[in-house]
A and B are shown apart, each in its own frame.
Chain A
Amino acid sequence: MSSLWDDHELPPDKDRINSRAVKIEWITIIFLISAIVLMYFALGSSQAMKTAWVEDILSLIPPIAFLYANRVRRRPRNKDFPYGYHRAVSIAFLLAAIALFTLGALLFMDSLMKLLAFEHPSIGTVELMGRQIWLGWLMIAVLAYTTVPAIILGRMKLPLARQLHDKVLHADAEMNKADWLTAVAAMLGILGIGLGYFWADAVAAIVISLDILYDGFKNLKGVVWDLMDASPRTVEHEKTDPLPARLETELAKLPYVSAVKIRLREEGHVYFGEAWIKFRGGEDIAKRATEAAEHARSLDWRMHDLAVMPVEELPEELPDREH
C-alpha cells in the first residue's frame, strides 16, 4: 500500500536547488564576516557607516536561521511532533523578518536623533602604506566592497526562493538588498560630509531606513499571517497562492467526487490541510478517499499532508472559494 505521506519534504529536483541555496547562504555568511571585520577598522564616526556595520551583523541572522532550519525541517515525525518539523522554516522566517524590521527601525531612530541633534560628524585621516589619506575615502572603498557581493548574492537568492517556496531565503534576499542600499547611502553620506554638508550622512540613512522599514513590515506581516494559519501566500507576500483553488478544481473533476472544499495552511515549504468531500454513491468510500488524497499530493510537491473527510454536506462555515 502506498503511503499517505512522503518521508521527504522536497522532491529530488527541488533538493538540488536547495543545495545551491545552502551553498549561497554559506558564501553569504563568509562574506558578511569579512565585511564586518573590514568595516570595524574603517569605522570612524560616520553615522551611516556605523549603522551599515550593525546592519551587517544583523544580516547574519537570516542565513544562520536558514541553515539551521534546513537541518531541523527534515527530521521525521514522532510522538512529540506528529506534524513533523516543517515549521522550523516558518520560525526561521520569523527571525529573519524581525532582523530586517529591527534593522530599519534602528537605522531610522539613530539617524533621526543625529539629525535633530545637528551633529557634525568628524572624519579624520588614516595612514595607509606610508600615505596619509582622508578616512572618508577608505570608508567609501570598504562600503563599495560590501555592496557588490550583496547585490549578486541577493539576486541569486530570489529565483531560488520562488522555486523552493522558501520565505526565509526571500527575506534574506531582501536583507541583502537592504545591505547594499544602506552601503550606497552611506557612501553618498560620506561624500556629502566631504563636500561640507554635515547632515548628508543622516539624511541618506533616513531615506534608506524607510525603505528597509517597509520591507521589514511586509515580512513581519507575512510571517504573522503564516503562523496564524492564513491561506497560503506566495513568497513575495503579495498574492494568495493559487494552489488550494487549483486542488479543489482538480479534485472536483474526479468522477466519484460530487463536491469538495479544501483548507490549507503553510508549514514552512509545504502545505498541510483538510479536504471535505461529498462522494457520489456509497461504495468504497475509504478507498476513494485515499485515492483523492494521493491524487492531490501528486499534483504539486508542496501538497504534503492532506486529510480527507467524507461528508454528507460540505461545511458551510468555511467560505466558498472563488474559482
Chain B
Amino acid sequence: MCAVRRFAIGLAMLVLTAACNIPRDPEGTLERVTGGTLRVGITESDPWVIIKDEPTGVEVTLVEGFAKTLSADIEWVEGTEADLIGALERRELDLVIGGFTSNSPWGQKAAITVHYHEVVVVVAVPEGDDPPNDLTGQEVTVESHSETAGLVEDKGAEPNRVPEIESVEGPTALEDYRLENLEAKPTGHILTRHKHSMAAAPGENAFLVSLERYLRSRRADVPRLLQEFSQ
C-alpha cells in the first residue's frame, strides 16, 4: 500500500511539474516553426484561399497573423486537397488551408482545428421584400453546381439554378456573409451551417493548441475579413 501511495504521489508531482508544458509535440513542430518556417499547403477556395500571384483570402490572412505570433516565415505550397493532406499526414507540411469545415473527411489523417467561423447558408430576400413564411412550392434561386439546390429541394422549394448570384431579386440561397453586399436580408429559413476549420499536422498537439488559441482570438475579426475578400 505504501509503495502504491508513493507511486501515486510521485506520479502526481511529475504531472504537476510537467503540466505547464503539456501537451508537447511528438515531432517538435511548434519548436521548429517558432522563429523558423511554417509550411502551409493551400488549395483554392474563394474567399478563404484565393490564389493569384500571391495567395490572399480570409484563411491566408489568419495564417499570416499566426505565423507572425511565432516570428515564423511562411512557405506556401499549392496543390490538390488530397496531395496536401497526404503530405500533412506525413508531417511534410505543418498546416493545410482551403475552406475546410469540421465535416471535412480528413479527420483521420489530419488534426481538424476548432472552427474559427460559422457560415450560415440562408434563404434571403431583397431588403424591402416580405419574407415568405413557407418555402413549399416557392422558387428559390441557387447557384448551379452547388449543394444548395438539394438543400432547397429538401425544404420543398423549387431550385432555380443560375451560374452565379450577382444580385438578389426573389428568394435566394445565400451565405450569410454575402447578405450585406447584395442588399438582402435573411428569411429565417436556414439551409445549412458550415463550421470553418483548418487542418494541422496530426498528433502535433502543442502546435495544434497554439493554433487553436490564435484562431479563437481572431474569431471576432472574421466577418470583417469575409467582407473584404468576398467583394
Residues of A within 8 A of B (CB): 45, 119-127, 132, 134, 136, 191, 193-198
Instruction: Tell yes or no: B24 within 8 A of A by CB.
Output: yes
Q: Is the CB of B216 within 8 A of A136?
A: no
Q: What's the Cα separation between A121 and B108 when bound, in Å?
A: 9
Bound CA–CA A121/B23 (angstroms): 12
B18 interface residue per 8 A CB criterion: yes
Give complex CA distance A127, B26 in Å: 24
With A123-B23, A132-B216, A134-B22 known to touch, is A198 a contact of B203 (CB < 8 Å)?
yes
Known: A194-B24, A196-B24. A124 touches B203 (CB 8 A): no
Q: Residues 166-196 of chain B: 1 if any A CB is under 8 Å from the residue's CB, otherwise 0?
A: 0000000000000000000000000000000
A196-B111 in contact (CB<8A): no
Residues of A within 8 A of B204 (CB): 120, 122
Contact A134 B23 (CB under 8 A): yes
Task: Give chain A's interface secondary structure class.
Answer: loop
Q: Does B165 contact A (CB under 8 A)?
A: no
Distance to closest chain A CB from B49 (angstroms): 21
The CA of A45 and the CA of B200, in the complex, are separated in Å by: 14
Asked if B203 and A121 sit within 8 Å, CB to CB, the answer is yes
B213–A122 touching, CB < 8 Å: no
Residues in B neighbouring A126, C-beta threshold 8 A = 114
Are B22 and A194 in touch, CB under 8 angstroms?
yes
Question: Do residues B212 and A136 form an inter-chain contact, with CB atoms below 8 A?
Answer: no
A136 near B107 with CB under 8 A, answer no
Query: In the bound complex, how far is the Cα of B204 from the Cα of A24, in angstroms?
Result: 43
Residue of B nearest to A190 (CB): B23
Q: Are B208 and A124 in contact (CB under 8 A)?
A: yes
- Report B210-222 CB contacts with A as 1/0, cut-off 8 Å: 0011001000000
Compute how far the CA of A123 lies from the CA of B22 in the bound complex, rounded to whole angstroms.
Answer: 11
Closest A residue, CB atoms, query B28 = A196
> Complex formed: what's the CA distance from A121 to B204 in Å?
8
Point out the residue from B25, B114, B202, B203 that lies within 8 Å of A125, measured CB to CB. B114
Contact status of A195 and B205, CB under 8 A, knowing A45-B107, A122-B200 = no
Q: Report the separation of the CA atoms of residues A126 and B113 in the bound assembly, to the nearest whole angstrom.
A: 10
Q: Which chain B residues border A123 with CB–CB below 8 Å?
A: 23, 205, 208
